[in-house]
Amino acid sequence: MGPLLRAFRQSAHDTAKTGGFGKLTGRRGGCAPGWTRAGARTMKRSERHHLKENPLATFLAELSETNWVSTRAVTGAALVVGALIVTGTVFGWQQYRSSRASALLASAMAIVDAPVAATDATDGASGPASSTEPGTPTEFPSVAAKLETAVPQLLEAAEAYPSLSQGIAARYQAAVALSVLGRTEEADTQYQQVMELDGDGTYARMARLGRAEALLATGDYDGAITLLAEASAASATDGAGLPRDALLMRLGQVYALAGQSAEAVSTFRQLIDEFPASGYRFEAQRELNTLPQPGDG
């Protein structure tokens, strides 16, 4: 091959790579359209390949992805820590309230359980007879004095924490104390609140009986009978609460006090039939013997 031919072929090869083949063909405007597009496609692919392998772009992309992952991790950790802080705060507050309620109840019950002076124990005098520490009486001159001192503290605990078990217990004890003091209307109010706050709890069941006794003390026989009948029915249904034989015994007695002899006889007989081994059986039989029987003229 001559030098001229070799030079021509090399020039054609170089020109094709640069898209300048038109100079050899003599065409105005450069190479043919097909060759131009091919060259452009080649350059675009080359540029894309070059960009794809650009180390700076790769680094920036990796850095961006790393920052995104790190941001998500930090955000997730912050949410977890925040949730733990909130949970811990709520738990700590609940523990504080429970501890405070227990302390108030214990302080009031220390008065309820305090001894009464052996002399003149039934006297209505107020105030403690002796004390080892300020505010902590060891002895009271009478039961009335002791309970009059205890009631305000019991109600303080009840009002401060009405929905906590300690508050409900304090309210029930206050109602009992008020009943003993003869303040039956106040006792009735506190018993009602215990029943509302405690639902089907033990204190609500006992409050129902306490309220029945408070109503009985005021002469409201119908109200007392209704509460005792409800308590007896609930005990028969779920087996919870106070013993049903005790409830039937008291219900029969209230029927008798109300002059409803037929209902009293029926209730006492129910007790004897359903609970033949009950400790109330003989007492119920004695009550029956004092009541007119059905069919008696």
Domains of the chain, each with CATH number or no CATH: 114-218 (1.25.40), 221-297 (1.25.40.10)
Mind listing the pLDDT tens digit for each residue in 230-245? 999 888 887 666 789 9
Instruction: Report the predicted TM-score, pTM, of the whole model to 2 decimal places.
Output: 0.64
**Residue 135: its pLDDT value, please?**
52
Q: How confident is the model at residue 160 (pLDDT cuts 50, 70, 90)?
A: very high
Give the residue from 233, 280, 236, 228 showing the smallest Cα distance to 255.
Answer: 228
- Per-residue pLDDT at 94: 73
Cβ contacts of residue 1 below 8 Å, gap of 6+?
none
| pLDDT exceeds 80 at position 71 | no
Residues making up the chain, counted from first to last: 297
d(CA 57, CA 4): 46
Stronger pLDDT, 13 or 150, i.e. the higher one:
150
pLDDT for position 234: 86
Q: Which of 265, 267, 268 is nearest to 283 (CA)?
A: 268
What does the pLDDT read at residue 18? 44
Residues 88-125 have pLDDT tens digits of: 666 676 787 788 889 999 999 999 999 998 764 444 44
Alpha-carbon gap, residue 157 to 165, rounded angstroms: 11
Q: Between residues 90 and 158, which one has the greater pLDDT?
A: 158
3-state SS track over 87-150: HHHHHHHHHHHHHHHHHHHHHHHHHHCCCECCCCCCCCCCCCCEEEECCEEEEECCHHHHHHHH
Output the pLDDT for position 138.
75
* Helix (H) or strand (E) segment spanning residue 193: helix 184-198
* 143-163 burial code (b ≥16 CB/10 A, e <16): bbbbbbbbbebbbbbbeebee
Say yes or no to pLDDT of 12 above 80.
Answer: no
**3-class SS at 184?**
helix
The pair of three-digit structure tokens given for residue 66, joined into one six-digit string? 């790393």
pLDDT band at 296 (very low <50, low <70, confident <90, very high): low
- Which residues lie closer than 8 Å to 262 by C-beta, 6 or more apart? 294
Higher pLDDT, 44 or 226: 226
Q: What pLDDT does residue 87 have?
A: 67
Q: In the predicted model, is pLDDT for residue 48 greater than 70?
A: no
Give 227 or 126, the one with higher predicted confidence.
227
Q: Name the nearest CA neighbour of 199 among 161, 250, 229, 241.
A: 241
> What value does the mean pLDDT of the chain take?
76
Structure tokens at 16: 């094709």
